């Protein structure tokens, strides 16, 4: 029904008045701008969740953009690490001899992937705690 769609759209774009009526180029610009500012906005949200930036970050459409950009960045990191470029050797000039026993230490891309995976695990644990085991399953 059109009334349900209108209600869902108003909830989805809450905090962005007139966004749906704007020109497509403006919509793309706003979406790209928010996507590029995602790291800064996320850090600001972590430090000041009750500020005006925190309120903006809780809007459904903004959350969707930030989650999408974050996941795309994670996929890019996975792609880069799958290329098997030895970033550690490039960055520090370490000889291969020192890494023969244990293998090379994680490079910056692998560390970023580990942080992402830890974040995904933390989000699932948090959701399990908030919803309870019965609802989570």
Domain boundary among 40, 68, 96: 68
pLDDT at 86: 63
137 vs 127: CA distance, rounded Å = 11
Which residue ranges of the chain lie beneath pLDDT 50? Answer: none
pLDDT at 93: 59
Domain count, the chain: 2
pLDDT at 5: 83
Domain boundary among 22, 38, 68: 68
- Whether residue 37 lies inside any domain: the answer is yes
30 vs 57: CA distance, rounded Å = 14
Q: Where are the alpha helices (DSSP H) in the chain?
A: 2-12, 24-36, 38-47, 52-57, 60-82, 87-92, 108-131, 133-136
pLDDT at 68: 92
Nearest to 104 by CA among 115, 96, 112: 96
Domain that residue 13 falls in: 1-68
pLDDT at 69: 92
pLDDT at 79: 92
């Amino acid at each position: 029904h059109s009334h349900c769609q209108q209600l869902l759209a108003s909830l989805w774009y809450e905090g962005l008045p007139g966004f749906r009526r704007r020109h497509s180029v403006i919509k793309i610009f706003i979406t790209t701008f928010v996507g590029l500012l995602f790291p800064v906005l996320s850090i600001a949200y972590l430090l000041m969740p009750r500020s005006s930036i925190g309120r903006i970050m809780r809007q459904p459409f903004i959350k969707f953009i930030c989650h999408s950009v974050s996941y795309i960045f994670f996929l890019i990191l996975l792609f880069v690490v799958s290329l098997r470029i030895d970033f550690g050797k490039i960055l520090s000039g370490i000889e291969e001899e020192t890494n023969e026993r244990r293998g090379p230490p994680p490079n910056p891309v692998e560390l970023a992937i580990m942080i992402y995976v830890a974040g995904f695990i933390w989000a699932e644990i948090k959701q399990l705690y908030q919803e309870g085991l019965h609802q989570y399953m």
